[in-house]
Structure 1
């Protein structure tokens, strides 16, 4: 009864759903509104209803697969059911029993459709959740595997051992039977097996493949991944697959490429399985990441080796430069220094020959100072004009220059006329030798390679050029200074010689006057004057025979002793004058003053100390302490007939004159004079006949002068 009534009002019910859905063409066939209406009026009976429920369940699955919202679909069904229920109340308002039956049928139908839609949607959702859970677990495992691979790559383990560990981890993670890693040799253009987790192919780790040979060679040649469900079924791949004792069917092979400033092929990584297998996108991505890790690891190793080699080379270069600089600072042997520079410049620049040219004084031509790897006969007669050849042009412009194969066309080049040499040399670098913008010459580096030197090599040669320029300039300055010193020394010796002669002439005149005078007092005064003059002459004679204007203190004392013995020793007395060794060097300014002072002290010791004795000892000694020189004249005589300060001694007496001379002369040296008596023990002395005389303990007169040693006066 209800189905008949509803069938009579289908058009009205469709119009109701049309207004609710907004579809002016009526509910579209297959839509939720259309299916709900069809199930309500029961056109197809129970089978139709079952079919509608299946379609709703399938729609729920489809909705879940597409990521749609279940709430929106359920809300739509509720809207359609409410609209139909309201319309049915209008249609069946006069038939309450049918209205209740229609409402109950609509409610049950709505519940069934919602349940079917939810069941289908939930089924897919549960499956997706399960798959996501599995994918998450798999991703975690892959991340752990990648962490292990990355840790091994960053460790200090040997490279082959690292690759073996990586191959083992990849095989375990992908559950394959074989993982192999090949490296590409750019020079030989072949792939060499470096690591595998399974059996070795024929040839073991020495197994090699050419580009485009086997699947590894094909991947390396094309730079693209290769996948095969059954590699043995492809004759192009079977070459490598048959190299193993086990049949491997499933194959995934990927290139190992370093993507830096320029792409560089590192090698190939392959995974294989005994059964036929299709590898997933996730598995391909995993192996791609592993290949990237290997590429970065290999590139880092290569960069580390390059950096380490560069550091070693830089250390070697710096040590060489330091050694050359040390030699320049420690020696003025120009030939030795320049030979070292030419040799080291060749070794550190990677060239074969080098040559250092010096600019002639007329600044028009260059000649060779030192060379390495060139014929000696060739370079000794070689001269190059300024502006000619690479060397001459470098000197003319004052700038470094590099050229390749310029020898054949440059007729002024010294290599141009030597076919054998020009065939071996192809590039040249010339660097001018400059000191304070003054060009002294140039250094040239010759190489057999047809390429220019790198900026680092060029800078190294420039450094050596600076060292050579300094060496040449230092040698020139040293030679000029040496010649100046030699000239000064010759002039000073000549001056001292002439002064000595003049003083000898004065002493001769005084001696002649002494012999002619009849007064004993005048004769004695003249004798003292002759002694003083001859002492000065002896000192100048000493200076005339030295290389520079300075003399040892003991040499000065010996000269004075010789003169004093000849002029002052009284007849019949045996006076021994000793000079103790003393290596103190006295500068020229103080030599003559000190000689006069020692002469006066020795003269006073003989004249006053030995006046009451027939024999005695006079000792001259000197020492230096804290920059002060002390000279003592010690005698064992009776001492002076007075003990007064110098200011109270008689200026008119010869004795007073001698002490006054000492006081004024030592004052010129900013020194002091003292005269005292002491009781002391003196070691044994030698008599004139060679017998020892023990002086023992007694009183001694000590004349002492002290003055600062000014070494700046040496020159």
Structure 2
């Protein structure tokens, strides 16, 4: 150490050495020691001149050795300083490389930010490094990574923007350095962090695309470092932490965007799955009341709200609530619904307590506690049939994607309602039509019975052996056959019957008129062949003619078997067969004279009215008559 109280004496003592080399080395060592004490080089020069004068030596040589030692020491100090500076720069660059590598190697934001705080702590040689991420919606900074503080605080501790030193730096958008937090009025101690041992604090905002004007929308978070002792953070330290903040800003934004996109994708999949399931449920019923309650119930689930109402547009441009699901049953939003329908657009009320557009909305908010409302029209094509209104106790902001989902749901519901209403209207019209058809067939049957009675009265005036009596009897039988068909149709509202039912009705009517001495057994077999009213009338006449033909010719002696069969061929052609076992029966004693009119009528009806074919053949054991036609090609 230099004896600052007597530096001249120290130099004189050196000058007493007669060895010139040793004397020069000692003088240079003295100059180096003088520099290490940050002493004034001019004073060193002055002292050297005075000592050389006293020792009767050359002052220039003495001063030169002193200053050479001083300059060498200063240069060595500068070299060490630059070496240390370069080493710090290398460490900083290596730290930035690790930070960038961690940010680019994974989209797991928690893992990459933990690497950042570990690296910053090592490079800056600080006791604590922490990172807080900013929640734009809640305006809160949440601790996500730390080194040096309580790890249990991660994900738990939150700082409101503008509160405390960390929140202040986030709001200010600039670094905030505190020499001693105990003297800083803005500082707020968080017990869970266990940070009471740390005195100095540097907080740097993490801003995406930083500019001269700070916007809170670009804030990603805040990175902080702390030391145990009071510390004046250098500009170099602040600049380095700003560089780190700039590097991690983009990686945080990318990771958050990835997480949000992934979350939105999964949410969209869940929404589409729910919408598909709801659409299938809506299509499963055609009862309007059931459908309305199903729509409001599913709307509460798909929109994640507390209540949903469905409104119908009335002819007088007013609205009527048709169904509701959720707590509360009183309404008060009719004026808002009318505007939704009139303007063909959705309306959102984020805060019903302060919204003054509709008095009823404020009333329902104070009466039932609903904070947010959302209403949208229900469309089928270009026509609006009603509206849905959603209620939420908690404050809600409806995102664009959710508006699209709810709009699709509302339109699907509107289509389902229209389908159900059309179905109900069709059912009502069908009931009316069926009732009218039944009444028409009933009246036709009554009129035919009246005509039959008149003809029977006329026939009784004629001799039974005359052709006129036979003609009248044949006409009565045909009228009975037609009346039998209308009797069947009067009990069926759809204007349909079957070949088997026609055959049974004709067989019953004929069986009642047969004498007991000529028993006849009717066998009615085959598939259930459905025919409309027109075909039924034609078949009734044809079957009636064929049965009476069998009775008059093959079975008049002792009776027998008459079979009436019906079946479908190739799902298109209907076949009706009338057969009797007359060929194995004895010949009648008195055969009725045939005019051929019956077969002529049959061929005409089958060919012209049914558009089919008629075949008649006599076999060893059976006489067969076959009618084939296509029922689906006949008009009603």
Give the TM-score range, shorter chain.
Answer: 0.5 to 0.7
Q: Larger Rg: 1 or 2?
A: 1
Alpha-carbon contact 1:395-1:432 (below 8 Å) kept: yes
1:662 counterpart residue number: 602
- Structure 1's 303 and 475: CA in aligned 2 closer, same or farther, altered over 3 A? same
Work out whether residues 500 and 540 of structure 1, in 8 Å CA contact, stay in contact via their aligned partners in 2.
yes
2:589 maps to 1:635: no
Distance 2:220 2:428 in 1: 69
Match of 1:86 in 2: none
CA–CA distance in 2 between the matches of 1:420 and 1:233? Answer: 46
Task: Describe the shift of the 1:420–1:396 C-alpha distance in structure 2 as closer, same or farther (beyond 3 A).
Answer: closer
Structure 2 CA distance for aligned equivalents of residues 451 and 150 of structure 1: 34
1:369 pairs with 322, 325, 350, which one?
Answer: 322
Of 392-401 and 488-497, more deviation after overlay is shown by 392-401
- Measure the CA separation in 1 of the matches of 2:163 and 2:381: 65
Q: CA offsets per residue over residues 139-191 of structure 1, 9 Å max, x none?
A: 98567534532344x25x5x54444444455566x395866333257669676
Deviation at 1:271, TM superposition (A): 8.3
Alignment of 1:61-140 (within 5 A): none
Provide the aligned C-alpha RMSD in A: 5.4
Pairing 1:708–2:630 present: yes
Q: Distance in 2 between matches of 1:280 and 1:557?
A: 111
Q: Report the TM-score when normalising by structure 1.
A: 0.61
- What residue in structure 2 maps to residue 693 of structure 1? none
Matches within 5 A, 1:426-437: 428-431=373-376
Q: 1:149 aligns with which of 89, 102, 120?
A: 102
Shift, 1:509, TM fit: 3.0
Relative distance call for 1:603 and 1:300 in structure 2 (3 A) is farther
Q: Which residue of 1 aligns with 2:132?
A: 183
Q: Distance in 2 between matches of 1:252 and 1:402?
A: 44
* 3-state SS in 1 of match to 2:602: helix
Q: Which of 257, 266, 288 is residue 303 of structure 1 equivalent to? A: 257
Equivalent position SS for 1:703: strand
Give the C-alpha shift of residue 551 in structure 1: 0.8
* Contact preservation (8 Å) 2:308, 2:326: yes
Return the alpha-carbon distance in structure 2 between the equivalents of residues 268 and 673 of structure 1: 100
Aligned with residue 484 of structure 2, among 518, 531, 538: 538
User: What residue in structure 2 maps to residue 77 of structure 1?
Assistant: none
Structure 2 counterpart SS, 1:638: helix
Q: In the alignment, does 2:219 pair up with 1:264?
A: yes
Spell out the pairing of 1:261-660 with structure 2 (5 A cutoff): 262-270=217-225, 281=236, 288-349=242-303, 351-361=305-315, 363=316, 365-373=318-326, 375-376=328-329, 378=330, 389-394=335-340, 401=347, 404-405=352-353, 413=360, 422=367, 424-425=369-370, 428-431=373-376, 440-448=385-393, 462-463=407-408, 466-467=411-412, 469-520=414-465, 522=467, 523-567=469-513, 569=514, 571-580=516-525, 582-610=527-555, 614-638=559-583, 654=594, 656-660=596-600
Q: Secondary structure at the match of 1:520?
A: coil
Q: Is the alpha carbon distance of 1:535 and 1:459 closer, same or farther for their aligned partners in structure 2, counting shifts above 3 Å?
A: same
Which residue is equivalent to 1:699?
621
1:183–1:191 contact (8 Å) kept in structure 2: yes
Q: Which residue of 1 aligns with 2:50?
A: none
The match for 2:39 is none
Contact 2:134 2:219 in 1 (8 A): no
The question of whether the paired residues in 2 share the 8 Å contact of 1:356 and 1:369 is answered with yes
Query: Which residues of structure 2 form unaligned runs of 5+?
Result: 1-59, 72-78, 587-591
CA distance, structure 2, for counterparts of residue 167 and residue 469 of structure 1: 56
Could you list the per-position Cα deviations for residues 360-399 of structure 1 after superposition, in whole angstroms to 9, with x for gaps in the alignment? 45x16543322234655x57xx9x9xxx833445556666
Change (3 A) 1:489 1:222: closer
1:69-128 Cα offsets, whole Å, 9 max, x none, are xxxxxxxxxxxxxxxxxxxxxxxxxxxxxxxxxxxxxxxxxxxxxxxxxxxxxxxxx99x
2:17 corresponding residue in structure 1: none
TM-score by length of 2: 0.67
Distance 2:466 2:257 in 1: 102
Higher mean displacement: 392-401 or 624-633: 392-401
CA shift, 1:557, in A, is: 1.6
Q: What's the CA shift for 1:300?
A: 3.1
Quickly say closer, same or farther: Cα 1:264–1:214, change in 2 above 3 A. closer
Deviations 1:435-488 (A, max 9, x none): 566665544444556788555555555555545554554454444433332222
Distance 1:347 1:708, change over 3 A: same
| Aligned residue-pair number | 549
Q: In the alignment, which residue of structure 2 is the partner of 1:104?
A: none
Which has the higher mean CA deviation after the structures are superposed, 705-714 or 550-559? Answer: 705-714
Contact 1:142 1:286 survives alignment (8 Å): no
Question: What is the aligned partner in structure 2 of residue 674 from structure 1?
Answer: 615
1:161-310 matches, within 5 Å, as 161-169=111-119, 174=123, 176=125, 180-184=129-133, 192=143, 194-196=145-147, 224-225=174-175, 254-259=204-209, 262-270=217-225, 281=236, 288-310=242-264
Alpha-carbon distance in structure 1 between the residues aligned to 2:318 and 2:144:
63
Shift of 1:638: 0.8
